[in-house]
A and B are shown apart, each in its own frame.
Chain A
């Protein structure tokens, strides 16, 4: 059966319309639990039983009142039995209301939770269903979700390794003010887990960057983000560190302030050395065109497939369009505008996509502008991207990979980066192993297939505010003096 046909059937049955399901289609849907088959005699039996529901309910209520008025805690067995029957009849009544007749097979169908879930998937991805059989669609969705769980499982192993290493390391080696928290390590672990290699190698890589790099800074968050991104690159330690340090020197020559150089260099470290000159030249051009642009925003634009003038024009368009919708002022708005301007979508649609993402993310991040732009700027349709993000929330939550509730969305956003089902993954690397990936078409030289700079933006505009919130709020925020 084709996926479109499966969607049509499930939708009609959900809407309580007859769907003329053929025997072969029936087998496919019933055997996998997307529909339950109910024969006519069972349905008639339910109808007859449910007719007695009101009378049974009245008897139960009457007996319950008597039982409550009688000393003794336990309801009489007869009453307990009647309550159980009443609950069963209530279920049958609900079932009866949702039964749909199917003439070709002379039976009724009952929609199930699994059927509702697969219908939701088919609806979200319906633009991608053409030519895809239903079994293929199911397998691809299964593989994609399994890969998400595997990624979180890897992240959990990495975080465990990072914690163990931190706890057993000589205290003098890591001063208290530079030691990381569980929340910090989960953030780093989620980035590292996108590489499907032995977690212990990633732990070692992180710790080497963390401890054996001359950071020239005591900013803990910069070192966290920097170590995570550098360790996530699929090259040997010496090569990456060498590139990182040389980039910092280059950045100094280009007037980047010392406090910006760690994140700036980390955001460029995935770019081949042959493209550095062009990227840095683009950054200079962008700064000349808009001197107030901070380095992170400029680097996002410089890495885009657009020439600096066009990138700035897109940036201005994004700002104007966002302001027209009431989103204005502030560095987070500018960050969102730069991410949109650097994205692959057309100028005409970028703010519209952002608005769609904002309407779904409002309240989940504080503020939600940069995350909404990250989702809007990916190659999926906005609602598809939101769906992937929600899948990632479900996986992080069900895997209990968090301590604080406010971590969940932040981690899910990292997990969702680059990921999609049905071969729609949009990076060439740094992805969970299972889903097939789609290469980004070659564009201007600064484009890197790794695109780890995304983590810099996430770290700066999503993780850092959360870390600040956690650091400045007492844990027992609910214990207050008054009341109780």
Chain B
């Protein structure tokens, strides 16, 4: 049975799909999808108008975060799960410095080309790929090639949307914005001009419900509405959802361990680690509760020379993100208590979470959760050199009190 993708309605975004001679880098496993179903690049209509309305097909996207759009009618089933196409880098919705839409008026205010500014004088619409250098070396509203490539490389390590149990939103292809658009985008900036190519990232997402930030409905804030969206109508359904959320969250918390490799030639360990990304804003929750990491451009190999450094990295990764994961689990349990009662207070609720967590992870090859006295201990066993690199972390103290 296929688990359907779900998405929360958001602002409609007029895009123009441009096809033809485009530079594309894609995952060969998804070639039929990216070369037929979603081929082309997707430019915001304001940029298309500024370019003099070259040939293209209007497409309606749904806003996802600030510089991405969903294409809900472009879907792909991987294994038994349905994913929706998302385009990252198809124009920013908001002004970079004010909480107002980036519309034609705002675009003209940052335009460095009189003719372009005049061309937009009578246009409406909002959303623009700009030439402002933003967060390192990324065009605001677009995507930089190196970031896009990091995302694709991480995605290539996935097998059917998972890396050793860590669920991801696969990047299927990268598309370079044609020069006719890139030249125009580079003429819009506030302070510093971005120097580089403009790319877009085509990825697949099971939902647009993020954990806490950056979506019209987030799991941590709008848990009641998320339950309705996901069709959770019984306690048993909620427990199944919690099982999937707990299992996938703990896979995310132990990504380094489960992706660890040892390079005999260099003598170095390599495993995937999170850079400037977080579970609360860069991961989405699927309808069955499975957490999928979306912003793969923030996942790269971390190198360690010796087992002690590997252990430190495993611990740091876990502690850096465990609060976000715990928050999601608690949010779910709080909502369960609101709807069906059944717990004798917060400690009873936490006991339920920990029981389900233990069951959820029982078949995980890289971790186990064992009671030790009045503590609950997480044993992490990396994919290589288990004896030397294994880590024990106290997951819960004074359990039962």
Contact = CB atoms under 8 A, between A and B. Distances in A.
A374 B233 CA distance: 31
A57 B363 contact: yes
B390 interface: no
A350 B222 CA distance: 35
A483 B214 contact: yes
A31 interface: no
Contacts of A483: 66, 135, 213-214, 281
A115 to B, nearest CB: 10
B348 to A, nearest CB: 9
A438 interface: no
A479 B216 contact: yes
Contact of B341 (A390, A482, A484): A390
B218 A478 contact: yes
A472 B106 CA distance: 23
A90 B342 contact: no
B342 A120 contact: yes
Interface residues of A, number: 41
B344 A405 contact: no
A116 to B, nearest CB: 6
Contact of A479 (B165, B214, B340, B358): B214
Contacts of A476: 10-11, 216
B270 interface: no
A268 B258 CA distance: 68
Interface stretch (B89-97, B116-124, B320-328): B89-97
B338 interface: yes
B191 to A, nearest CB: 14
Contacts of A71: 159
Given A94-B355, A397-B339, A480 B66 contact: yes
B66 A479 contact: yes
A57 B367 CA distance: 11
Given A390-B341, A405-B225, A481-B66, A61 B213 contact: no
Contacts of A94: 355, 359
A73 B94 contact: no
Interface string B222-247: 11110110000101000000000000
Contacts of A345: none
B224 A484 contact: no
A60 interface: yes
Contact of A116 (B227, B344, B363, B368): B344
B60 interface: no
Given A94-B359, A484-B67, A394 B341 contact: yes
A87 interface: yes
Interface residues of B, number: 55
A402 interface: yes
Interface in B277-304: 281-282, 295
B94 A479 contact: yes
A435 B386 CA distance: 63
A474 B228 CA distance: 22
A441 interface: no
A64 interface: yes
Contacts of A72: 159
A87 B94 contact: no
B383 interface: yes
A408 interface: yes
B179 interface: no
A68 B166 CA distance: 11
A484 B359 contact: no
Interface in A60-87: 60-62, 64-65, 68, 71-74, 83, 86-87
Interface in B195-221: 213-216, 218, 221
Given A120-B342, A120-B344, A394-B340, A65 B214 contact: no
Given A120-B341, A481-B92, A484-B281, A90 B216 contact: no
Contacts of A120: 341-342, 344
B160 interface: yes
Interface string A141-153: 0000000000000
Contact of B79 (A73, A116, A480, A481): A73
Interface in B365-393: 365-366, 368, 383
B103 interface: no
B65 interface: yes
Given A62-B365, A94-B355, A408-B224, A478 B216 contact: yes
Nearest to A57: B362
Given A73-B159, A87-B362, A481 B96 contact: yes
B313 interface: no
A478 B215 contact: yes
A479 B216 CA distance: 7
A398 interface: yes
A179 interface: no
Given A68-B365, A86-B363, A94-B355, A478 B213 contact: yes
Interface in B76-108: 79, 92-97, 99
A87 B68 contact: no
A22 interface: no
Interface in A375-425: 390-391, 393-394, 397-398, 400, 402, 405, 408
A117 B359 CA distance: 23
Contacts of A475: 216
- Cβ-closest 10 pairs across A and B: A73-B160, A64-B365, A484-B65, A61-B365, A481-B94, A65-B365, A83-B363, A90-B359, A90-B362, A60-B363
15 contacts: A61-B365, A68-B165, A90-B358, A390-B341, A397-B224, A397-B335, A478-B218, A478-B221, A481-B92, A481-B95, A481-B99, A483-B135, A484-B214, A484-B281, A484-B282
Given A72-B159, A120-B342, A484-B68, 9 more contacts: A61-B368, A116-B342, A116-B344, A117-B340, A397-B335, A405-B224, A483-B135, A483-B281, A484-B282
